[in-house]
Amino acid sequence: MTESQGPVPEHAEMDHVLRQRRRRAARGVLILALVVIVVAFVVQNSQLVTVHFWFFTHKVHLIWLVLSCLVAGTVLGYILGVPERRARRRRRKAEKAARRAK
């Protein structure tokens, strides 16, 4: 007499679990590669540069200049993209409401 240890997982469920594991592994490899690239970037761009901005002159490490420009560009891009995302969200809600009304 052998008793079952519980329900046997379905193939679809097992496939889903395997896909999730592969996705996590791929994400981990990508994050590791990104960290290596960032570290190499920081090491290669550590020299001092002179920044002239209007009446302002200052010496700063190149990496900080690049990173501050990246942050400023990301923030500005996000702020400028907010109206488009709101309009897209409104269009989607209107389309869903129209489909439900039919």
pLDDT one-digit tens code per residue, 25-84: 999 999 999 989 988 888 888 899 998 888 889 999 998 888 888 899 989 988 888 878
Q: Is residue 50 part of a domain?
A: no
pTM: 0.51
Q: Is residue 98 part of a domain?
A: yes
Query: Could you tell me which of 44, 26, 25, 46 has the C-alpha nearest to residue 36?
Result: 44
What is the count of structural domains for the chain? 1
Q: Is residue 28 part of a domain?
A: no
Q: Is residue 79 part of a domain?
A: yes
Q: Is residue 48 part of a domain?
A: no
Q: What residue numbers bound the domain in which 70 lies? A: 62-102
Between CA 18 and CA 13 the distance in angstroms is 9
Q: Is residue 71 part of a domain?
A: yes
Q: Is residue 33 part of a domain?
A: no
Q: Determine the straight-line distance between the first and last CA of the chain, rounded to whole angstroms.
A: 58
Residue whose tokens read 């995302």: 85
Q: Is residue 8 part of a domain?
A: no
